[in-house]
Amino acid sequence: MAPAEAKGAENMKLHKDFRVIVYVIAMLLALIVIHPTYDDGLSSNLQYGLDLEGGTSLQLKLEGVIAGVEADPAQIIEEEYSDAFGEIEIIEASETEVIFRTPEPLNKDEIDAIGYGSVHVRDNEVTLTINKEYVIQAYLSRYLECEVVYLGSNMYEIRSAIGESELSDVLAEVGGSIATDMRGKPVFRDAVTKETQKTTEAILSEKLNIWGLKDVPITPVEDNILMVDLAGVDLDTAMEIVATPGKFEIRIQTTENETEHVTWGDHITAVDIPKMRDGAWGVGFTVDGVGANAIRDAAVESGAVDDPEAHELIMLLDDEVIYSAPLASELAESLQELYDKNQDVPSYALVATTGAGDVGKETVEQLYIHLRAGALPVEVDVIGSWQVPAALGAQFKEQTILAGILALLMVALTIFLRYHQKNILIPMVATSVSEVFMILGFAAAIGWQLDLPAIAGIIAVIGTGIDHLVIITDEVLYEGRMPSKKVYLSRIARAFAIIFAAATTTIIAMSPLLFMGFGALKGFAITTIVGVLIGVLIARPVYGRVIRELLE
Amino acid sequence: MDNIKNLVSRFDTYIRTHKPEQLVIPPLIVLVIALIVLGGMYVTTGSPVRLGFQFEGGTIIELDTPDSYDDLKVAFMDYPLIGVSESGNRKMLKFGPMDSDKEESLVAKVNSEYEYATPEIKQADPIYARSLQKQAIKAILISFCLMAVVVFLIFRTFVPSVAVVLSAFSDIMIASAFIAITGIELSLGTIAALLMLIGYSVDSDILLTTRLLKRRGNLDDKVTSAMTTGLTMTSTTLAAILMMYLVSAYSYLIVPSFPQISIISDITIVLLFGLAADLMNTWMLNTGILKWHLQKQRGRRT
């Protein structure tokens, strides 16, 4: 920057050159967005990746499958109802209605319990009004033990990590199969939909917000991976908050060793701040009407209202028991009363107590986050992680700055050995430094975090940048001195033809990193590409102009 | 300056005094050796280069601890510890894949018992790592093909374009063979470096080809001038990369508590090999082919 301005004062023509103007504006913009300030040490608007700040980076795979399914709903109905009531006989079947005969006359409630459609019974003839997709979805959901969502055109999203053979076996039971595409390959991918990925991202982000981490960068990669960068958090804590679905369930003890499902966490409407009560940590929450009715029915049917001690109410987080205790006796009485009158239970408050001490506190905090933000739609699997302690990150930062400075000095030395002219050396080094400054400005402007690969990219740009300046210099000074204006112009044009060609190949070669699933290398690719563009379009043209002034 | 000039003039004399065919042979022999090395590695180990944990799965833990190898072996006997290596104060423990419960307990153990040792922990899931392998190969192939297309579009003549693409190919193969021989493990950093090399290695070839095709004058003189520029370019780049490599890989020799920055040392070591190969491939292989091509053209014209 210095030579351009110094020269500009003496020479009006240089001052008016639009390339120089663009360059000066770009440098000023970079200065404004980087906004370096000096309080107790240098600070700026630049953001650093957590490999330099310390923290944990997690790559999460969202466990799910998208598959094409071909199955006949009537066959599913036949299998399922025969299992329950003995061989049934299908009388008539269409995509919207199935009529069948059961061996014994049944009542409506018994048939309703199986699900699949709305029921109309006359003696032992049953008319089931169905929806094909719903039947398949409900069937898969029951046997794969997970949520299944219909996506349209016979495609289903199965929200669990199931294998192809597992799905195919479940379908074979009812004469169905995995659909095949035009080339005869089964339509079965390890993937989730964009919506599921977005929902997961949003819930994760909310959980982290409640945890106290604002604006955590979550980057979706491909269609089933999320990368989460958690500054200042260690790996085990990160996994507890991020890598667990946070599925909350209330169950009730039926016999000594058995329990029964009552309700899920999605019927929880309000959650209180965790508090210490009677020496133990606990979190209070409110259950909505549906959940409250489920608890009422379960409490009465299991016998918990009569003998609370033998039928504890159990709360689980991701299938692990976090709380188990008898119903309060007043609650038991009021539930019995409401049940007898067949009255809806208004939403009511419960407390989950997690115990005393640090363990209790930690559990209650996690429970609080999961209750408030809700469960993730799918399970997540940590497929890669990186923990960098803050002290190490600080060392990395120091070392990369040192590497950058030494690299620049070595480059300057090499250039000096070749040209022995400070009129070439100073503009070259200044151009190179200003390119780095503009790249940093760009990073600050778009809020890009500088991580180690990005810094490697910047230093690589110094290397190619100097190369291009050498090409310009040697092309212009072909006979060892500055040629006439006409020759200069044609030489500079040729130099830029070479530089543009070289820059194009570098950008093109890096481009796969931008689109493919190497999240960690995106910073490297972006800085290299942006750096090459800034160099070729803004900084190097000015260098060509400046050396003409200096060497004439 | 004398060094560079000396080097240039020596190299220059060599190129002037040898026929194009003679220039082309040594780099082709090196290329063939590189391919044999990679092929041999592939046949014996199933992969042309050793795969790092990112492509194979596993856990790496780095600790700044005075504990000896034996201490660590005992401390981590419940986990699939594969090996321990040392750089300055920092010990690097490499673990094979393990199930997620085990992994969680390992992380908890390290973060509680070795909190003082500024533990760096890196993990990769084996299944995902394998899919990353395929992606890496795909990225390199796509990148190379795109580069070749761009080169053909720039020059629009067959032989010079092929010469550039061939020498870039050779750079990458020789760099990969070096990776294989020296036992460096393939990591995300080395992949980035190979892609960088694809874009970077053609720079001097493009300079050379443009100078020889588009400028008038004596062929040998044009080669000399291109070489002066090209060698300056490569030496500045080598200087920058060498410094980065030394700082990222060996600063612990001066300050023992300095950690290695593996992603940077991986990128730079591959670029060092690649650029060394590029010197030979640009100024012998590519120059040889171009000289042969231009001499034949001139012969046909007269």
Q: Do B118 and A389 touch (CB under 8 A)?
A: yes
Q: Do B264 and A455 touch (CB under 8 A)?
A: yes
Q: Quick one: CA torsion of A413, A414, A418, A421, rounded to 10 degrees?
A: -30
Q: What percent of chain A has pLDDT over 70?
A: 96
Q: Provide the β-strand partners of residue A120.
A: A127
- Structure confidence at residue A340 (pLDDT): 79
Dump pLDDT digits (tens) for A141-193: 888 878 888 888 888 898 888 888 888 888 888 888 888 888 888 888 888 88
**Residue with the larger pLDDT of the pair B26 and A337:** B26
Q: What is the mean pLDDT of residues A522-541?
A: 88
Residues of chain A by 3-state class (helix, strand, coil), percent to 5: 55, 25, 25
Dump pLDDT digits (tens) for B267-285: 889 999 999 999 999 999 9
Task: Flag whether pLDDT at A244 surpasses 80.
Answer: no
Q: What is the least distance, in Å, from the CA of A292 to any CA of chain B?
A: 35
Mutation for B interface: A458, A473, A508, A532, most B CBs within 10 A = A508
Q: Average pLDDT across each block of 10 residues of chain B; the chain has 302 residues. List them in order.
A: 70 86 92 95 87 86 87 88 84 87 87 88 86 86 93 92 94 92 86 87 91 86 89 89 89 82 87 92 93 85 61
Regarding beta strands A275-277 and A313-317, do their DSSP bridges make them parallel or antiparallel, or are they unpaired?
unpaired
DSSP string, A393-461: HHHHHHHHHHHHHHHHHHHHHHHHHHH--HHHHHHHHHHHHHHHHHHHHHHHHHT-EE-HHHHHHHHHH
Within 8 A of A463 by CB-CB distance, chain B residues are: 236-237, 240-241
A182 contact partners, CB below 8 Å, separation of at least 6:
none
- Structure confidence at residue B4 (pLDDT): 63
- Structure confidence at residue A203 (pLDDT): 85
Dump pLDDT digits (tens) for A186-233: 888 888 888 888 888 888 888 888 777 777 888 887 778 888 888 888
Q: What is the least distance, in Å, from the CA of A77 to any CA of chain B?
A: 38
Q: Provide the β-strand partners of residue A386.
A: A57, B122
Task: Flag whether pLDDT at A2 surpasses 70.
Answer: no
Nearest to A387 among B121, B138, B146 (CB): B121
A516 in reach of chain B (CB within 8 A): yes
Q: Do A471 and B207 touch (CB under 8 A)?
A: yes
DSSP string, A308-333: GGGS-EEEEETTEEEEEEPPPHHHHH
Task: Flag whether pLDDT at A257 surpasses 90.
Answer: no
Q: Do B135 and A498 touch (CB under 8 A)?
A: no
Task: Flag whether pLDDT at A6 surpasses 70.
Answer: no
Dump pLDDT digits (tens) for B72-123: 888 898 899 888 888 878 888 999 888 888 888 898 888 888 888 888 998 8
Distance CA B48, CA B173 (A): 10
Task: Flag whether pLDDT at A11 surpasses 70.
Answer: no
Q: Which of A184, A187, A183 is nearest to A171 (CA)?
A: A187
Mutation for A interface: B54, B188, B244, B245, most A CBs within 10 A = B244
Q: What percent of chain B has pLDDT over 90?
A: 33
A387 in reach of chain B (CB within 8 A): yes
Q: How many degrees, rounded to 5, is the angle at CA B38 between CA B35 and CA B39?
A: 80
Q: What is the mean pLDDT of residues A59-77?
A: 85
Q: What is the mean pLDDT of residues A34-56?
A: 82
- Structure confidence at residue A5 (pLDDT): 44
Task: Flag whether pLDDT at A10 surpasses 50.
Answer: no
- Structure confidence at residue A361 (pLDDT): 81
Within 8 A of B248 by CB-CB distance, chain A residues are: 399-400, 403
Per-chain mean pLDDT for chain A? 82
